[in-house]
Structure 1
Amino acid sequence: MKVFLHYEDNENSDLHKALKITLPKSWRTGPASNLLDTFVESYNVKFQETNPLQASELHLSIREKEEQEYGSMEKAAETKFTPICNDAAVIDEFLDRSDIYICHGKGRTKGEVEAEKQAEEDERQQILKNTVACTHFGCQQRFNKGGPYPICKYHRLPPVFHETAKFWSCCPDKKAWDFEDFQKIPGCQEGTCTDIKEDGKLFLGGTDLREKSEVAKLKSIDDFNKAESAGGAEAAPVLERLRNAMFELGIDKELFDQVVDGIKREYEPSTSSEAELLTAVSQELGSKLKATMKSIAVDQLRLK
């Protein structure tokens, strides 16, 4: 197993150094600090007078390049260093021919990292216990129970999650596709935080959008049956019953509507009426569910 050690944590590139090490077998299960000690010893042979290093003031890191999307078009690359604990086993942290970076800053043990995480979690739980979240849409601030109530920027209407788009009902022109980008959309109202919950839906979906555009949408089995008796599609009550049954199995109705809407768009050009369209959707959805069930059955046979 070979690894490449790099020291580049210095503005003066003349003080940088790279070192290739072939690890003895015993080192693979040994602590990562062995690599750091070896590099520092080699480095100081050349730079003892100009830039001596101390292993106790350094740590090992893995460098990763992450692509972050901004909207749906632009991309930016961000360099991220992930520190490696001094007592972590080499074989657990590094692959053959890994690039490992020596960075300034005292290294930590796995126990110290876990203790820090636990302290942060304890602090977070204490904050949650003593504070409440603002119930204004999009505010995200927390404040002490009973006040004082801080100033907040929020959205007047609930969010809309439709297909891959995410936006606020009051700001339909500001859409996002990534949830983090959606959370960054600034509020359109200014006011004071509150802990009083308002009645109404917490979010909207495709069904609500269709209602707002005054496109007829049957919601209950009785409605579908009435439509059927008046010459409507026989598939309509089947789809509604399936929607309710899948909701009981843990499938969100919004997700079900999204799938049905997608199939509708595929068949709309080739159908001449709503009844014919719903029948086609019902048959296609049934075919896809049947294929899924067969796949599960095949996997079960393999396990046996």
Structure 2
Amino acid sequence: MKVLMHYEDHENSDYHKSLKITLPKSWKTGPTSKLLGQFVETYMGNETFKEGNPLEESQLHLSIRSTSSSTSTTTELVDLASDAVVLDVIPDRADLYVVHGPSQTLSDQKEAAQKAKLEADTDKNLAACTHFGCKQRFPPGGPYPKCQYHSAPPVFHETAKFWSCCPNKKAYDWDDFQNIPGCQTGVCTDIKEDTEQKQFLGGTDLRQAAGEAIKLKSIDDFNKAQAAGGADAAPVLDRLNAVLVELGIEQELYQQVVDGMRKKAAATADTEADVLEAVKKEMGSKFKDALKTVAAEQLRIS
């Protein structure tokens, strides 16, 4: 029986390590803690690891990837009890992960599962706050606790997750998203104020909102502005914004880039017109470079 053990629980990849172990026969019927101890001993045998990232076996545990079936993709890491029998919980050629945090015994895991079930059963009899982002529960009819919540629904677009009322606070991990603090304070309620409001938004909603928010100016309007001295180059940027939204590029991303260009141009420009003109030229230059890169790639492939 062979296993491949990985330590990746450090922000610096220089301290990551993978170790292939062929288990002696006696280990197969022994506890998983034997594997953890072997990994730590080998890891600490490396002087660079020992000095830069010393590991303590008592502050680590083993986890294994959980799958719903033999053909499905991996889902999440499941912690292994330190006294679980290797053959009972680890298949041959499994990938194991060494993770920070003390190990639990089978008894600890059983107690934790019972506690979670008890909390879940208790929650069934409690009302959930209907405010976006508030996870509090309370007896139906009150008393109602104070809460911090979001005033608008969440947005799940591609890999980004954020609250539509706080578009500048984005997360790409579910736990990080859950930890984004609410922008409103008040009192919990179990009454849904707007039954027609969507509970979450996606890319289609973003593009629709962007189209409604951007008032496109006509070519005549733009020409008049240019004839007046070029003091209003914004129509070009507005139209570009709308086109990029139609192409599936987030309005927030575009605005972030424009704001960065404006800040850079403002350091040397004398007027707002000069700032906008500089942004327009830099944006055109960036798109030209991007298209040249694509064209060169196409020629290379062909």
After TM superposition, the score normalised by the length of structure 2 is 0.45
Higher strand share: 1
Over alpha carbons, which structure has the higher Rg?
Answer: 1
TM-score normalised over the length of structure 1: 0.45
